[in-house]
A and B are shown apart, each in its own frame.
Chain A
Amino acid sequence: MSESKANHTFAFYLGCIAPNRYPGCESAAIKTCKKLGIDLVPLKGASCCPAPGAFGAIDLNVWYAMAARNLVLAEQMKMDIALLCNGCYKSIWEVNHKLKHNKDLRDGVNEVLKEIDMEYKGTCNVYHIAELLYNEKYVGVNKVRDSVVTPMTGARIAVHYGCHLTKPHKDREFEKSIMLNTEHPSWMEELVAAIGATPVEYRNKMQCCGAGGGVRGYDIVHSLDITNEKMINIMEAKADALTNICPFCQLQFDRGQIEIKEKFGISYDLPVLHFCELLGLAQGMSPQELGLDLHAISCEPFLQKVL
């Protein structure tokens, strides 16, 4: 299997949860993208995005300034940013969008950045890797299908979109032009089908994972209650695994199942994989290479089914 020549290069923004909790997501993203003609170059010196729930909900100015600093790092590299987390997308994409369109805000943020000899110029764009994979301009479903060496035939996979990538609908530009709808989208299902698996519909698939907006940190029982409802709906659809495009959602579903077992006494043992991890398997990478052994819920039953 030859790696296609890289014709797009992005500054890869890692965020916090991927490198700390699911390093497999990070390696999966870099390796799968490479095979699809996308070079991910580390965005050196990046900080936390910062988390939209933890910062954005408490002090907007801190949120703007920190996100702007990450953006300036990419501007200095003269590259657009690619990232793999919905929460990071909310912070970095949205702050970029706001700063580009609001001069007063931009001036205020630059006032702060001056202290560290930086200036936000608004020259870079921000993309989620899932968006790059789906958008034909970069990769597209067909190229994803062509990159598959081990089709995930027979695997029933439930899809979790997460919230921040697609909402609020009003200002998410990519979603309007390419992915069309936020209330019942199907583009992730197309990607799942492209790697040979069967996407399964389940009740209320657009429901939140339960973690976002600071709920996980503030009220874990309430947060798990939401996760549990999603798990019930997914299990009803007889899924073999759940795929997502956000390490924070992944954390909530993966570790959350352990916590649900402890708190509510219910066990589901449903493997949870970031789409990049799933794509890595389909592209013939080993589970160790993709860090699947580091998940809280064992991926073994799923791996036995598909490999």
Chain B
Amino acid sequence: MTPTKTRAAIAGVYEHPTRFAPDKSEWLLMAEACRGAIQDAGLRPEQIDAFFTSATAPEGGWLGACASVMAADYLNIHPRFIDETDVGGASFGYYVNRAVMGIEAGLFKCALIAYGATTKSLGVNVGTVRYDDLTGQRISPMPDAFEQVYGTTVTSFMGLLTQRYMHDYGLTSEQLAHVAVTMREHAALNPDAAHRKPLTVEDVLSSPVIASPLHKFDCCIISDGAAALLVVHRDLLPECAKPPVWLAGFGESIMHHEGGLGDWAAESREMVRRACRQAFDMAGVGPADIDTAMIYDAFTVNVVIDLEGAGFCGVGDGGAFVADGQLKLDGGSLPTNPDGGGLSSNHPGRRGIFLFVEATRQLRGEADGRQVPGAETAMCTATGAAFLARRGSAAHILTR
């Protein structure tokens, strides 16, 4: 089926090619990405009337409280609407949602969504330190005191989830390894990707365990990076340089601990399902209508859970789906993350924005060397975290 469209479309995108930029600031990387996106759209900076960005501190830079005002000052733009909703790496999906809502409500017409971080240059061990060590703060009474005292890291939280998902649904480490291998195959086709050397299932399984059962290659890489998007009202499209990529549907959902009574493993999938159902219903399409997917692969297990939550396969079938090669550009039924994803291309702390850049390139037919032939409709799913089970998902249907 053909998706119904909102009045909002992506008119410009830019992904900074750098993966390591010790001589630049996160601010400058973001500005260069904004310049790239406005040039890609064929618009002018003074047309920007809404601005969305994410704090990067402490995991990828210095941009902290009041991030959107601080960054607007640096960029010298004058948006009448700002937002910096924080859902970790999924934040950028939430910004797209808020941009579409604001455009539909008539509040603004040209929304800039931007991000830059120098996580690698700063040497931040995002996934392998305690949160109090990452932030330099003490362990807050609620709720960190009940969790961080055990020496938890981001990777350990995901290890707990993965272990339970394996227990409940029969997922295996070998199946997860196929996600990492496929992302690396795709990265080999992307000249900007950070890691392009071929990887085997055996390589993944024999790599060091970071937090069991997650191996090194189950975890996203750490890079510097930046990107920007322009989401515009359809009234502006005649001025734009390139054909639009329409926002057809979007959804979002959060999960948490349910007062200590929740099933963290099942709820991780059901949260994605709620977000995806909203997006599918709004666009009037289903999983079978999606030509290519961008799935936030912070860890290999995220891909499996999102596939099951979105309905690309049944509950408990995600492991077999990825091991069967369904994510591959070469012959898969759902070519996923053709750019190599966070597992191989880039991951500067919060990766959600890059999903939209690659989806736009794919739907425009600009993804040289890794183009999904004839891609007309794409899906983006992202899950971001506050810590432990406090997380949020965003889902989007894009169409040309």
Bound together: no
Q: Which B residues form the contact surface with A (CB < 8 A)?
A: none
Q: Which A residues form the contact surface with B (CB < 8 A)?
A: none
